Amino acid sequence: MTKLYNRASEKAKRQQLRQNMTKAEFMIWQKLKGKQIEGCKFRSQYGVGQFVIDFYCPELKLAIEIDGDSHFQDGAQEYDRERQAFIESVGIRFLRFTNNEVYDNLEGVLERITQEIWELW
């Protein structure tokens, strides 16, 4: 059986992404790490299959993706749809926010994450 989560073959990619978070990802991570939201443990740059999720709570099977500029380039939206469909097909719920949403309304983003956590409990 092929390993689905955090494949060793993708480890360097996950580490590189952790070391080079965008400003928006860093802002969210500062609020998610250490069980700060409803006591839920989130992991940063978590592998699911060949894909990497920005933030993931294994207990709730909740993924959070922060879409930066690269997500709006040619072909990126189709890739994101396919990626999200695969991740959802293994039972993971998906929340997606843009960099601008994080910059302009961090509290609103955190409230939406909290709402989703309550729905999953």
pLDDT tens-digit map of 53-82:
999 999 999 999 999 766 667 777 888 999
CA 42, 44, 48, 51 torsion: positive or negative?
Answer: positive
For position 71, what pLDDT does the model report? Answer: 61
Averaged pLDDT of the chain: 93
Q: At what angle do helices 23-32 and 106-120 cross, to 10 degrees?
A: 50
pLDDT surpassing 60 at residue 1: no
Residue at token pair 């293994």: 90
Does CATH number 3.30.565.10 belong to domain 8-120?
A: no
For position 38, what pLDDT does the model report? Answer: 97
pLDDT tens-digit map of 76-107:
788 899 999 999 999 999 999 999 999 999 99
Segments making up each domain of the chain, as ranges: 8-120
pLDDT category at 118 given cuts 50, 70, 90 is very high
What share of residues in the chain are helix, strand, coil (percent, to 5)?
Answer: 55, 20, 25
pLDDT tens-digit map of 26-46:
999 999 999 999 999 999 999
